[in-house]
Structure 1
């Protein structure tokens, strides 16, 4: 039973005084947040007057909880000589926090978490763009397109993965990625609603028999959706050479389909810059393309940007990979703030996480003795590759060469670990799967850094909300909606109201969508 003053179960003592104090405190907090952001960014842009044209850039840091930022900040302060508080930009823009549970569990998965944003609705774990009864729900991206906005999605995982899928498709089960790809290209009642997609996930757009676009196709029906997209007018980009021809977004013909990997873009610490772009490069290309395409329109754009692989590093419990993913996201967010601050179009940036992953603890008791209050970021610095990268490289090494390879290439060179036991070498050498190797490597790094994890899955911890707006009126709207602690659906609701979108109208239009194979 909910208890408040109206139930008669709680005495009303000094209620008016407390209410006044709360109101005053809220006003002071709002003013401090406002002044802090203005001082950090510079207040000149706030002299602009809203014209009615609006952009929204919505960021999702998949799997990033507060501890991820604490670990990354300390890592950068200690190892990059960034100074106290100077290592990360994102925390300067914190306005609130979000509660992440789904309709089916106190711990959400990414599909339900993303649908809470896209449809402003709680749903069950594994649901993509459908309500708790499996009925397709209209999304912010779809509604924005119907209102005349241009739309885009930028990710570092598969473009058919849960977060982008929840904005651009409707399926009962998140792993129906072949069907998700069809929806994203327009094979459903609304037709094409996405103007730009940049990420990985090429595998779900062609079959294993096709070799024209790569060797990793996995569509069960064997269809080649890439060729169909090109026939339908999409500009297709499949590698870094073609991506560079986009000239940072200044040489783009919409709609754009950029599938830059069969599966996920590599972790930032493993990424070859000549083969795969950074998240910042992907996002900047998208922003420039959408800005140019809307320059003569009275509508702006809606862009989804996901730091996708923060989550993967946490699922693997890999403390060396995660800070570098967070830093890569931070650079992208700062570039977006710069764009917004310089733009003549009213622009709002919102950033949050769908959930926390890993149960990360920045500090760990490694024995029975009373623990030291310390952790060792230099252990993370010594690693040159992620556990994922090293595990997949090692699995192909012949058995008779494995022990030397483990010592020299994996532990000493790959992870920078020079104090290990022969038992460690034997356990790694005898591992039969990449998953076993990955888990062992991540545990070795975590133990030496004294970083703790409680799970390879998600947790129910609240996550932070960050925001920026380039006009005072837009900032007031953000502040009124998102200051303090909120349900995740309130973030989606704010974006819909800010862009004056009617999600229920879209829900009615997509009711006949095929949402299972």
Structure 2
């Protein structure tokens, strides 16, 4: 009996010792922090966008299969429905701020970003976006300005950041043509600071580690200095997954890296209520995440991947009264061009040549698959009389060239009347609806895999995403402010 008690005693001591050792190991691993950190932000990618894309694909997105899944609120400091600047600042720094502020708290005090913290700790840093690199989301990781519209000042902040890799869209005002206080050419400043400027696919794909700091963009910038919509791209264009893969190749080093990748045109497509463009850009964003997952498979104990959205956009609903419980997302495949390309190219060309609605009908069918003749009961692409009438009215408004006014905004928003009406009709046939041309307050999903990933389970605010990443990196999990010299520069 004594021997049994003695054995049990030693057994308990052994178990306690093992538990202590395991706890110490886990604690040390956390203290060391994630060596490779990926932060993916789907701009405008709320719960509906992810669900619609998954349904269209017919299987789970890679981001939805991650082991940690959280629900994240997005409100700004001064408004329930946030904007990209306020949301990105919270995601980058852990500080709530006002609409349009970049890297500043509500009192215009500059906040330190997780990217800047990573750089301070010897990690390489990369920023990738499918929209302009000085747009709100990417800017919030390296700039500190009073408004997101200070593109020239943001461009100079990029050039002075010291970050190692910028790629995707271009810059909106590097020369200062739109600035009240031009600071000189930001691209020349970037070159002086060691950046290699690249504007074509061949040179970009030829980049090798050791080529130094990079500032690169796609040759064709479709709108607002952004990449083309995925459905409008050709083999000459650099895709978001390709930008991401090259970023990983260029940033990989023994001290680790932080990489932020934004799928910005998900948001732009949703503003225009173009479901096909939004979904295909969401799938490209998911493919970019797969590049990070491939890296994670090689470094599972050192890598953290976090995926979130900054807000929902468009009030996308997965259901439409006209189809009741019916959904047929395959219908979206009949759309061959984005609303943007149809507006900028097809309609511009049509207006030059001239023509009536009868001449436009075959063009609509070729671009969107909508048919004006046939049996609607047998062919879902055949338009009902009221749909054809709505399209004709929108065509006449587009041809008039008059700006949308008053209550017409509910029909067309700020977009070309014919283009947005065509996407509305097609989306409704697929079983999708929209409630807004702006952002909404719907929460977003946050997903994670890797070091400290389980801390991203549950329900929390977008500012907590930043502090959770800081903690996973072994940094103090709290918001920090920049030094007084930076504060003086930011407030000037």
Q: Which category of TM-score, normalised to the shorter sequence, fits these structures?
A: 0.7 to 0.9
What residue in structure 2 maps to residue 500 of structure 1? 474
Gaps of 5+ in 2: 1-25, 373-382, 404-414
Are residue 439 (structure 1) and residue 420 (structure 2) matched?
yes
Q: Kindly state the Cα deviation for residue 267 of structure 1 after the two structures are TM-superposed.
A: 0.7
Are residue 342 (structure 1) and residue 298 (structure 2) matched?
yes
**Of 228, 231, 236, which aligns to 2:197?**
236
What residue in structure 2 maps to residue 375 of structure 1? 327
Matches within 5 A, 1:399-414: 400-401=354-355, 403=357, 406-409=360-363, 411-414=364-367
Q: 1:193 to 1:222 in 2, by over 3 A?
A: closer
- Residues in 2 aligned to 1:118 and 1:245: alpha-carbon distance in whole angstroms: 31
> SS at the partner of 1:203?
coil
Q: Deviations over 1:128-159 (max 9, x none)?
A: 10001111111111111111111110110010
- Residues in 2 aligned to 1:454 and 1:285: alpha-carbon distance in whole angstroms: 38
Matches within 5 A, 1:65-464: 65-77=46-58, 86-93=59-66, 94-186=68-160, 192-206=161-175, 221=182, 223-246=184-207, 250-251=208-209, 253-260=211-218, 261=221, 263-274=225-236, 276-291=237-252, 294-295=253-254, 299-343=255-299, 346-366=302-322, 372-393=324-345, 394-396=347-349, 397-398=351-352, 400-401=354-355, 403=357, 406-409=360-363, 411-419=364-372, 420=383, 421=388, 424-425=391-392, 427-431=394-398, 432=401, 435-464=416-445
Q: Is the 8 A contact 1:168 1:184 kept in 2?
A: yes
Q: Kindly state the Cα deviation for residue 404 of structure 1 after the two structures are TM-superposed.
A: 5.6
Q: Kindly state the Cα deviation for residue 245 of structure 1 after the two structures are TM-superposed.
A: 2.1
Q: Kindly state the Cα deviation for residue 127 of structure 1 after the two structures are TM-superposed.
A: 1.0
Q: Is the 8 A contact 1:316 1:438 kept in 2?
A: no
What residue in structure 1 maps to residue 375 of structure 2? none
Q: Deviations over 1:40-81 (max 9, x none)?
A: xxxxxx9xx88766111001011111111221122122xxxx
Q: 1:402 to 1:385 in 2, by over 3 A?
A: farther
Q: Kindly state the Cα deviation for residue 88 of structure 1 after the two structures are TM-superposed.
A: 2.1
- Residues in 1 aligned to 2:356 and 2:191: alpha-carbon distance in whole angstroms: 45
> SS at the partner of 1:442?
helix
> SS at the partner of 2:197?
strand
- Residues in 2 aligned to 1:430 and 1:399: alpha-carbon distance in whole angstroms: 17
If the length of structure 2 is used for normalisation, what is the TM-score?
0.81
Number of residue-to-residue matches in the alignment: 426
Q: Is the 8 A contact 1:60 1:351 kept in 2?
A: yes
- Residues in 2 aligned to 1:389 and 1:53: alpha-carbon distance in whole angstroms: 42
> SS at the partner of 2:459?
strand
> SS at the partner of 1:467?
strand
Q: 1:495 to 1:339 in 2, by over 3 A?
A: same
Computing the radius of gyration over CA atoms, which structure comes out larger, 1 or 2? Answer: 2
Q: Kindly state the Cα deviation for residue 430 of structure 1 after the two structures are TM-superposed.
A: 4.2
Q: Kindly state the Cα deviation for residue 223 of structure 1 after the two structures are TM-superposed.
A: 4.0
Q: Deviations over 1:262-284 (max 9, x none)?
A: 7110111111221x211100001
Q: Is the 8 A contact 1:144 1:501 kept in 2?
A: no
Q: 1:256 to 1:115 in 2, by over 3 A?
A: same
Q: Which moved more, 1:500-509 or 1:137-146?
A: 500-509
- Residues in 2 aligned to 1:272 and 1:429: alpha-carbon distance in whole angstroms: 32
- Residues in 2 aligned to 1:344 and 1:364: alpha-carbon distance in whole angstroms: 42
- Residues in 2 aligned to 1:507 and 1:117: alpha-carbon distance in whole angstroms: 20
- Residues in 1 aligned to 2:34 and 2:111: alpha-carbon distance in whole angstroms: 26
Q: 1:195 to 1:422 in 2, by over 3 A?
A: same
Q: 1:180 to 1:404 in 2, by over 3 A?
A: farther
> SS at the partner of 1:424?
helix
Q: Kindly state the Cα deviation for residue 429 of structure 1 after the two structures are TM-superposed.
A: 4.8
What residue in structure 2 maps to residue 19 of structure 1? none
Q: Is the 8 A contact 1:102 1:108 kept in 2?
A: yes
Q: 1:461 to 1:414 in 2, by over 3 A?
A: same
- Residues in 2 aligned to 1:326 and 1:444: alpha-carbon distance in whole angstroms: 21
> SS at the partner of 1:269?
helix
Q: Is the 8 A contact 1:112 1:123 kept in 2?
A: yes
- Residues in 2 aligned to 1:204 and 1:240: alpha-carbon distance in whole angstroms: 22
